[in-house]
């Protein structure tokens, strides 16, 4: 179902204006509630776990898409707002940096733990800043570029299907013993869904870096050199593009529930990774989102 450019701009504007207020019963949290009950339902069957996980993905994504579809066209603006997370991504990351600015390392570690999966209790300031930059760069795709990509591709129902798939990956797409089989479909299908948007994110970051006077050439070179070195087939693209644009190095050693995990480096340490870099990251975040919004408006006009 087609979305008019004014509806897209209204939905994006609403996201920028109010973000994700905690007092509001956000539909994505409602979908999480539904997914947990569907997981319990499919685990209770005698179907092999990998097949059960696939059926779980179909029923969860199908339910979300159906619920959204029956509310259209009158709720299009509402759903565009609800399925984007541009301001919320910025707000959550900014809260971490504000704790650092106040000299509260423990507070920064605690707030960081709300937006990343890695262990944060032992991170120093440099490790916290790196984690913030990495999660903003990666989630620029998941929270903004990919939803808008699917909106352009298939309207609000496609946007909802993507958001559902991405949420399921964050819920069950782990390689732990509990989800190794059941979450396999959710993890792999999220990789498929993000394949094109992640690369589009890198392209848009290059363009934004050029407009902002950052190092666009280095951004391109670092992306082509380093992006494919990451365990994820997609996350490395926006992260490498940001690292190159700002002349910083991301990646390295992280801990997850006490278990070390070393990722290849992205970018070169041309500049130190200081708090001041976050201001540049925010400009890339909003600038890239603006370019994508304009591109979708053009495609829809």
* Among candidate residues 174, 189, 186, 190, the one with its CA nearest the CA of residue 42: 186
Mean pLDDT of 218-241: 96
Mean pLDDT of 212-240: 96
Domain containing 295 equals: 5-300
* 165-190: pLDDT as tens digits: 999 999 998 778 889 999 999 999 99
Q: How many CA atoms lie within 13 A of 284 on its CB side?
A: 36
CA distances 170 to 163, 174, 190, 213, Å, are: 11, 8, 9, 35
* 82-117: pLDDT as tens digits: 999 999 999 999 999 999 999 999 999 999 999 998
Give residue 24's pLDDT band: very low, low, confident or very high (50, 70, 90).
Answer: confident
Instruction: Specify the pLDDT at position 2.
Output: 79
The pair of three-digit structure tokens given for residue 202, joined into one six-digit string:
């890198």
Task: Indicate if the pLDDT at residue 269 is higher than 90.
Answer: yes
Q: Where are the alpha helices (DSSP H) in the chain?
A: 5-18, 27-43, 49-69, 76-83, 86-101, 105-112, 125-140, 146-172, 184-212, 216-226, 236-246, 276-300
Mean pLDDT of 226-254: 96
Mean pLDDT of the chain: 95
In total, the chain counts a number of residues equal to: 301
The pair of three-digit structure tokens given for residue 57, joined into one six-digit string:
């993905």
Give residue 1's pLDDT band: very low, low, confident or very high (50, 70, 90).
Answer: low
Give residue 25's pLDDT band: very low, low, confident or very high (50, 70, 90).
Answer: confident
The pair of three-digit structure tokens given for residue 123, joined into one six-digit string:
């991170």
Instruction: Specify the pLDDT at position 174.
Output: 78
Please report, in angstroms and rounded to a whole number, the separation of the first and last CA atoms in the chain. Answer: 14
Give residue 257's pLDDT band: very low, low, confident or very high (50, 70, 90).
Answer: confident
Task: Indicate if the pLDDT at residue 250 is higher than 80.
Answer: yes
Give residue 299's pLDDT band: very low, low, confident or very high (50, 70, 90).
Answer: confident
Structural domain count of the chain: 1
Give residue 301's pLDDT band: very low, low, confident or very high (50, 70, 90).
Answer: low
Mean pLDDT of 202-207: 98
Peptide bond just before 73 cis, omega within 30 deg = yes
């Amino acid at each position: 179902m087609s979305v008019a450019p004014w509806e897209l701009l209204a939905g994006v504007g609403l996201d920028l204006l109010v973000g994700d207020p905690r007092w509001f019963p956000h539909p994505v949290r409602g979908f999480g509630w539904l997914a947990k009950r569907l997981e319990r339902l499919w685990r209770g069957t005698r179907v092999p776990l990998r097949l059960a996980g696939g059926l779980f993905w179909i029923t969860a994504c199908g339910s979300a898409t159906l619920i959204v579809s029956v509310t259209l066209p009158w709720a299009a603006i509402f759903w565009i707002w609800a399925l984007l997370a541009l301001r919320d991504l910025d707000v959550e990351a900014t809260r971490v940096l504000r704790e650092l600015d106040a000299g509260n390392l423990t507070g920064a570690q605690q707030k960081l733990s709300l937006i990343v999966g890695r262990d944060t209790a032992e991170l120093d300031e440099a490790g916290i800043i790196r984690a913030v930059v990495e999660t903003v760069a990666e989630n620029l795709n998941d929270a903004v570029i990919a939803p808008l990509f699917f909106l352009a591709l298939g309207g609000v129902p496609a946007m909802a299907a993507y958001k559902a798939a991405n949420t399921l990956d964050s819920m069950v797409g782990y390689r732990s013993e509990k989800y190794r089989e059941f979450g396999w479909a959710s993890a792999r299908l999220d990789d498929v869904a993000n394949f094109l948007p992640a690369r589009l994110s890198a392209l848009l970051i290059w363009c934004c870096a050029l407009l902002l006077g950052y190092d666009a050439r280095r951004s391109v070179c670092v992306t082509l050199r380093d992006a494919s070195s990451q365990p994820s087939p997609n996350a490395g693209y926006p992260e490498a593009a940001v690292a190159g644009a700002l002349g910083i190095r991301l990646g390295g050693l992280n801990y997850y529930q006490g278990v070390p995990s070393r990722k290849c480096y992205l970018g070169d340490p041309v500049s130190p990774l200081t708090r001041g870099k976050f201001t540049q990251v925010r400009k890339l975040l909003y600038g890239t989102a603006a370019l994508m919004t304009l591109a979708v408006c053009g495609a829809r006009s």
